[in-house]
Homo-oligomer: A and B are copies of this chain.
Amino acid sequence: MELNGVEIEDTYAEAFPIKVARVLITAATKHWAKVAAQEATGFGTSVIMCPAEAGIEKFVSGDETPDGRPGVYIQICTFGYKSLEQQVLERVGQCILTAPTTAVFNGLPDAEKQFDTGFKLKFFADGTETETEIAGRKMHRIPMMEGDFLVENSIGAVDGVAGGNFFMLADSQMSGLTAAEVAVEAIQQLEGSITPFPGGIVSSGSKPGANKYTFLKATANEKFCPSIKDQIEGTEIPADVNAVYEIVINGISVDAVGKATAAGIKAAVTIPGVKSITAGNYGGTLGPHKFNLHDLL
């Protein structure tokens, strides 16, 4: 199958279940919403060594938020609800409450699972807190140095999906990187998915486990490493490919991750120098979700 002259391999991405909390940050301007979101989702690429996976989902304008200000949805993901509740409390409390002009709303008000993050944060006010309502939502008002911080009582979470992915094989590093950049931009137009790695992009796609250093949980996927393609038996890197980038996608549902995968691939193939698109799977050992590229496109 070809898209815009680029080969799409007949393969699938393998993904696994994760718990996902979703937070809507609003601020005086889009800039300050972004600043808070970047701090709150940092150190959040992979649960291998980060305390959570986290990323920016989508920016929204004032007519889509409860307080009429520009906003941004973020997602925070861990394997269990208990650790997730703690991560949400820490990241909202340390990275959004402390950020200029922000307010925090529940990004999944209809989810069954609700954390009382806002209720817990109100104690920061040391007795000066009050309750209020914005667009029907129960809010805590916390007086602070800059004025008042408003936070919704609860933050919802659901059973989501982690590890959706696709790979872009390109003639040069900059062709591949630009394809990855436009893929991330396209995915950020959609609801429900994040790309948790730096700038949304993985430069170091890994395999589970190791051949040699077996004390590691994940190591470089040497069959996709262009600089050593001449040394690796069974390399997946054709002669005309000199760089591979991966986009990893998490989301609140199988549907959201699938749509993000399709949108990302459609954007990536517009960049000259992209040779083919494939996806990562490990024989079903990693997880139960399968995203077949041809079916998605």
Contacts and interface: CB of A to CB of B under 8 A. Distances in A.
Given A45-B39, A177-B174, A204-B145, A186 B101 contact: no
Given A126-B212, A270-B69, A99 B199 contact: yes
Interface centre among A144, A210, A213, A273 (most CB of B within 10 A): A144
Interface stretch (A77-85, A104-112, A165-173, A287-295): A165-173
A100 B201 contact: yes
A97 B48 CA distance: 14
A124 B219 CA distance: 5
Contact of A246 (B69, B145, B172, B185): B145
A182 B49 contact: no
A137 interface: no
Contact of A145 (B203, B267, B271): B203
A224 interface: yes
B173 A173 contact: no
A148 B210 CA distance: 18
A273 B221 CA distance: 23
Contacts of A40: 42-43, 198
Contacts of A51: 43, 51
A46 B49 CA distance: 20
Interface string A225-261: 1111001100000000011111000000000000000
Interface of A: 4, 28-30, 32, 35-36, 38-46, 48-51, 54, 61-63, 67-70, 89-91, 93-102, 123-128, 142-149, 167, 170-178, 180-182, 185-186, 189, 197-199, 201-206, 210-213, 215-216, 218-222, 224-228, 231-232, 242-246, 263, 266-267, 270-273
